[in-house]
Amino acid sequence: RAKSAGSLAPCFYDAPLDEAIRERREMANDLRVAIETGALGLHYQVQTSVTTGEVTGYEALVRWTHPKRGPISPAAFIPLAEENGLILALGEWVLRRACADAVEWDHQSKVAVNVSPVQLSHPELPRLFHQIMLDTGLPPRRLEIELTETAIIANREQSLHVLRQIKALGVGVALDDFGTGYSSLETLRAFPFDKIKLDRLFVSELEHSPQAVAIVRAVLALGKSLAIPVLAEGIETEHQLQVLKREGCDEVQGFLLGYPAALPLAHPQEAPAAEARSA
Ligand code: C2E
Ligand code: MG
Ligand code: MG
Ligand code: MG
pLDDT single digits (tens) 114-144: 999 999 999 999 999 999 999 999 999 999 9
Report how far Cα 133 is from the mean position of its chain's Cα atoms.
Answer: 19
- Return the ligand 1 atom nearest residue 94 CA: 41
Half-sphere exposure of residue 75: CA atoms within 13 angstroms, side-chain side: 0
pLDDT digits (tens, 9 = 90+) for 171-219: 999 999 999 988 889 889 989 999 999 999 999 999 999 999 999 999 9
ipTM above 0.90, yes or no: yes
Q: Are the beta carbons of 31 and 76 closer than 8 angstroms?
A: no
- Return the ligand 1 atom nearest residue 236 CA: 18
Q: What is the pTM of this model?
A: 0.91
Output the residue whose Cα is nearest ligand 1's atom 10: 260
pLDDT digits (tens, 9 = 90+) for 12-49: 666 788 888 998 999 999 999 999 999 999 999 999 99
Q: Are the beta carbons of 103 and 71 closer than 8 angstroms?
A: no
Alpha helix stretches (DSSP H) within 205-237:
210-226
Report how far Cα 105 is from the mean position of its chain's Cα atoms.
Answer: 20
Around ligand 1, the residues with Cβ closer than 6 Å are: 45, 61-62, 73-75, 78, 94, 114-116, 146, 148, 176-177, 200, 234-236, 254-255, 260
Ligand having the closest approach to the CA of 112: 2
Distance 2 CA to ligand 1 centre (A): 35
Report how far Cα 35 is from the mean position of its chain's Cα atoms.
Answer: 18
pLDDT above 90 as % of the chain: 78
Which residue type sits at 251? E
Distance 34 CA to ligand 3 centre (A): 24
b/e sequence 136-153, b meaning 16+ C-beta within 10 Å: bebebebbbbbbbbeeeb
Which residue type sits at 267? H
- Return the ligand 1 atom nearest residue 81 CA: 44
Report whether pLDDT(104) > 60: yes
